[in-house]
Amino acid sequence: MGQLSRTNAIKQPLSSFPEWTSTHGIPQVGRSRKLYCMGFWAIITLIAAALLIWQTVLLILQYYHYDVSVQIELKFEQRAFPAVTVCNLNPYRKSVVYNFPKVKRLMDTYEYTMKSISCGADPTCYMATNATLEQYRTMYGFQGIYDTAALQTRAKNILGLEIAGYNITDAVDKIGDFIQGCSFNTQDCDMTNDWETYIDPKMGSCFAFNTNATHMAQRAGPIYGLRVVLKTNISEFLATSDAAGMRVIVYDQGEKPFPDIFGYNVQTGSSSSIGVTFVDMSRLAEPYGQCTDDKPDNYLYDLAYSTEGCQRSIYQQEMIDNCNCYDPSYPIPAGSNATVCVIPDDFACWARLTNLSSSDNSCTQPCNEGVYEVTVSSAKWPSGSVTQVGNCIEGEYDESCLTVFKVFF
């Protein structure tokens, strides 16, 4: 009797469930008197339930994908004029650095190897072998390189090692020789306060304008921006400097510039107009994306975090850890007692790390970044209708005053 009572207690709610449930299919199953009708409604109900579960799973998966959308907001407001750095594409003066024995050895070996590559492609060419330069060619790792661009890149990288330790004060450009004229917002520049000079190991002297954000962008257009006249001396170019011109990079004041990697080349004999638009970028961190504003350990630079700065910091630390020396092309970490890498003692280890093609994935993009989008155009300069430009008089343009550039919003 007790067993029957328990069975009825279970059966009664189940039999009455189709009468009071708010779902559509189950009441139809309960009302059906024919078996095939009951089966039909049961199948329809199961299909609907399966579709509901499927849609629910899709929504959950979509949520955990953490999809993001890009929101663009256009603003018209006064802001600081960007920082502008300009460097000569020829880092050091030939007449000075060729007096440095290590640099002269490298340049002679480079030119010898370039001639050897060119002669090797011409069956009618004969070139006498220089036993001493062949030894240096092996020491520098030039053997086995048959592409002139690859050879030039290798020689430029090695130049940083060979010139380390020399006094390069007289080998780099001085601001008075390099910048022949400067104006901002139709007014003459203050060459003492508006410009800063620093040495980049790969670019030589670089000159930075408005790093303290003292100048504001008053109006749009080239007349109200920065206008600079520059000169270079092609006769002082190193063998590895095959392009005559200047490197210009436009960036935010809180960012560390890397002119050897980023920027735009301004050719000689031209007037280049560089129009800029400021983009303030904000990215979402985990779980929506991968970005950070936190500097890793042994970060080499004082200004805000950047992906390039992170990669250089990790490279330098790996150089110290693996080779017990540091690459003079980059700063040495604070507190490190490592000595500079020298040739030939540290060259094999240095070359192995420098030529690694893999990158460290821990260097992500910054979450907050100010980017200047740049549009560059150029025209022949000077036109010949003027008699004096900067500190150059008529007839001297080809030898000294070689280029002008303008930066503006």
Q: Which domains does the chain carry?
A: 95-163 (no CATH), 174-283+367-408 (2.60.470.10)
Q: Determine the straight-line distance between the first and last CA of the chain, rounded to whole angstroms.
A: 94
Section 296-316 average pLDDT: 89
Other CB atoms closer than 10 Å to residue 178's CB: what's the count?
22
Output the pLDDT for position 359.
Answer: 60
Q: Are 161 and 154 in contact (CB under 8 A)?
A: no
Q: Which amino acid is at 294?
A: D
Per-residue model confidence as pLDDT tens digits over 82-109: 999 999 999 999 999 999 999 999 999 9
Return the residue matching tokens 């604070």.
334
Output the pLDDT for position 181.
Answer: 86
pLDDT band at 13 (very low <50, low <70, confident <90, very high): low
Distance of CA 215 to the CA centre of its chain: 26
Per-residue model confidence as pLDDT tens digits over 326-369: 999 999 888 889 899 998 888 889 989 888 766 667 888 898 88
Q: Are 401 and 381 in contact (CB under 8 A)?
A: no
**Is residue 161 scored above 70 in pLDDT?**
yes
Q: CA-to-CA distance for 407 and 409, rounded, in angstroms?
A: 7
Q: Which amino acid is at 309?
A: G
Q: How far is CA 396 from CA 233, 235, 401, 406, in A?
A: 12, 15, 7, 21
pLDDT band at 393 (very low <50, low <70, confident <90, very high): very low
Kindly give, in sequence order, each residue whose CB lies less than 8 Å from that of residue 158, ignoring residues fewer than 6 positions away. 106, 140, 343
